[in-house]
């Protein structure tokens, strides 16, 4: 079998892993209609109001510290983000406090520096904001816009959470204005009860912030919920272009706008002036095999740990694709088996990717393609005609917005 990645590839990824996301509980104090762990979907473990044992998280951190201190670590910086996810992570605050204390005490005299982040619905923010500020947490607060825009985000009694959430956010902003400005951001899900314009204007007007806008995950939807899903789903880019003043919104949103994200990738992959690292700069790597699909090498960006101790490369992947597990005895992570499984998956896409004209800049994660274990068909495939349209659309955007090119090169590509 052709080998696209091997054990060494994954060992390097683990040695340079910069983020661990812990699903600290599967319990939640909301029952959002579109939740990825709700009635629309089926590719997740059963929700049982469980909590992740803190000992398992400690096992994992200690296990990974061996990689972070290895000679495969490419950067002198050893900043590691520990991110807390749910469910609603603030429902298991004792876990979070214990982990923060554990790493701050055990790794205090080492050159590993831990940073903390959290995705939260903010219902309990008033109770824990002092602690979060004290430990300099980066917060991503989930809110979909104004009261009506937020009407899918409800509690178990079907009450809109908007008023409580906004009250808590406003309180934090008043008590800790500098922390709010520097460390608090927002994520809004776009659907049929809001729009990019609604979301943008709400956060810009009320909080002077540019939110991240996410679309509903279209993978793992239950067959009997496809009609409901299609009624709820909205494309962020289509929503943006329906607005008369979309240019000004788009420019202000910058990398939170789908068009800027697309153009930045285009410049990165096709300009010939951007290099991933010094090896890429100094040596001609044109003949290096391109890995099929745009799937990340496992753990090259993050590691996700479910409440049941399953280890995945990302929180947006179905739990049936777990790559390892944390047991009561320790870490089960067969790196050779992971490499073999990935190469098996890559082989399924090889012929499609060879003829796809966009294989150089593919962003299609194979885990988001249906029938991955059978005969997957990539819905991001581009023939010559589609690729020309893609190139033309990117070039047209740059021609109409020349400042976008310089802004991307200065603020995004050159770091």
Cβ atoms 186, 209 nearer than 8 A: yes
Q: How far apart are CA 118 and CA 321, in angstroms?
A: 24
Most confident of 37-51, 133-147, 235-249: 133-147
CA angle 304, 27, 144 (to 5 degrees): 80
Q: Is the pLDDT of residue 360 over 60?
A: yes
Q: Which domain holds residue 194?
A: 7-257+292-348
Does 280 fall in a domain?
A: no
- If one counts the domains in the chain, the total is 1
Q: How far apart are CA 295 and CA 380, in angstroms?
A: 13
Sorted by sequence, the CB contacts under 8 Å of residue 192 that are 6+ apart come out as 231, 232, 233, 234
Does 408 fall in a domain?
A: no
Sorted by sequence, the CB contacts under 8 Å of residue 413 that are 6+ apart come out as 264, 267, 268, 274
Does 395 fall in a domain?
A: no
pLDDT digits (tens, 9 = 90+) for 123-177: 999 999 999 999 999 999 999 999 999 999 999 999 999 999 999 999 999 999 9
Does 251 fall in a domain?
A: yes
pLDDT digits (tens, 9 = 90+) for 247-282: 899 889 998 888 888 898 888 888 765 555 544 544
Mean pLDDT computed over 206-229: 95
DSSP string of 180-197, one letter each residue: HHHHEEEEEE-BTT--HH
pLDDT digits (tens, 9 = 90+) for 27-40: 999 999 999 999 99
Burial 252-282 (b: 16+ CB within 10 A, else e): ebbebbbbbbbbbbbbbeeeeeeeeeeeeee
Q: How far apart are CA 289 and CA 273, in angstroms?
A: 20
Q: Is the pLDDT of residue 388 over 70?
A: yes
CATH at residue 247: 3.20.20.70
DSSP summary character for residue 311: E
pLDDT reported for residue 276: 56
Bond from prior residue into 85 cis (ω within 30 degrees of 0): no
pLDDT reported for residue 168: 99
Q: How far apart are CA 25 and CA 115, in angstroms?
A: 20
In the three-class reduction of DSSP (H, G, I as helix; E, B as strand; rest coil), residue 400 is classed as helix
Does 302 fall in a domain?
A: yes
pTM above 0.75, yes or no: yes
Does 368 fall in a domain?
A: no
Other CB atoms within a 10 A radius of the CB of residue 203 amount to: 21
Does 263 fall in a domain?
A: no
Question: Which of 203, 197, 201, 220 has its CA nearest to residue 142?
Answer: 203
Q: How far apart are CA 232 and CA 209, in angstroms?
A: 25
Question: What is the widest separation between alpha-carbon atoms in the chain?
Answer: 61
Does 379 fall in a domain?
A: no
């Amino acid at each position: 079998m052709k080998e696209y990645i091997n054990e060494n590839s994954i060992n390097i990824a683990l040695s340079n892993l910069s983020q661990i996301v812990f699903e600290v509980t599967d319990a939640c104090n909301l029952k959002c209609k579109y939740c990825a762990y709700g009635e629309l979907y089926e590719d997740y473990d059963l929700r049982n109001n469980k909590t992740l044992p803190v000992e398992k998280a400690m096992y994992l951190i200690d296990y990974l510290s061996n990689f972070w201190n290895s000679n495969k670590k490419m950067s002198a910086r050893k900043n590691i983000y520990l991110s807390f996810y749910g469910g609603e992570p603030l429902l298991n605050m004792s876990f979070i406090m214990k982990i923060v204390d554990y790493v701050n005490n055990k790794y205090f005299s080492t050159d590993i520096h831990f940073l903390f982040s959290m995705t939260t619905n903010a219902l309990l923010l008033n109770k824990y904001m002092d602690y979060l500020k004290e430990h300099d947490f980066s917060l991503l607060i989930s809110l979909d816009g104004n009261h009506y825009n937020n009407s899918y985000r409800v509690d178990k009694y079907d009450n809109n959470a908007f008023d409580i959430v906004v009250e808590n956010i406003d309180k934090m902003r008043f008590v800790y204005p500098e922390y709010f400005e520097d460390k608090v951001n927002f994520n809004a899900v776009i659907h049929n009860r809001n729009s990019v314009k609604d979301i943008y204007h709400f956060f810009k007007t009320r909080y002077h912030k540019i939110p991240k806008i996410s679309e509903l995950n279209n993978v793992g939807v239950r067959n009997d919920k496809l009609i409901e899903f299609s009624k709820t789903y909205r494309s962020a880019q289509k929503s943006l272009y329906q607005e008369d003043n979309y240019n000004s919104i788009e420019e202000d949103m910058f990398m939170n706008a789908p068009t800027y994200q697309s153009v930045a990738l285009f410049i990165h992959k096709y300009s010939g002036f951007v290099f991933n690292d010094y090896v890429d700069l100094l040596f001609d790597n044109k003949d290096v095999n391109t890995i099929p699909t745009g799937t990340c090498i496992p753990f090259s960006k993050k590691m996700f740990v479910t409440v049941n101790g399953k280890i995945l490369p990302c929180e947006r992947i179905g739990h049936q694709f777990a790559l390892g597990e944390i047991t009561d005895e320790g870490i089960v992570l067969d790196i050779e088996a992971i490499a073999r499984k990935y190469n098996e998956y890559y082989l399924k896409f090889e012929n499609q990717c060879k003829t796809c004209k966009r294989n150089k800049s593919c962003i299609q994660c194979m885990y988001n393609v249906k029938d991955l274990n059978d005969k997957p068909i990539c819905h991001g495939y581009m023939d010559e005609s589609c690729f020309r349209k893609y190139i033309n659309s990117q070039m047209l955007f740059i021609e109409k917005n020349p400042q976008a090119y310089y802004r991307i090169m200065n603020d995004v590509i050159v770091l």
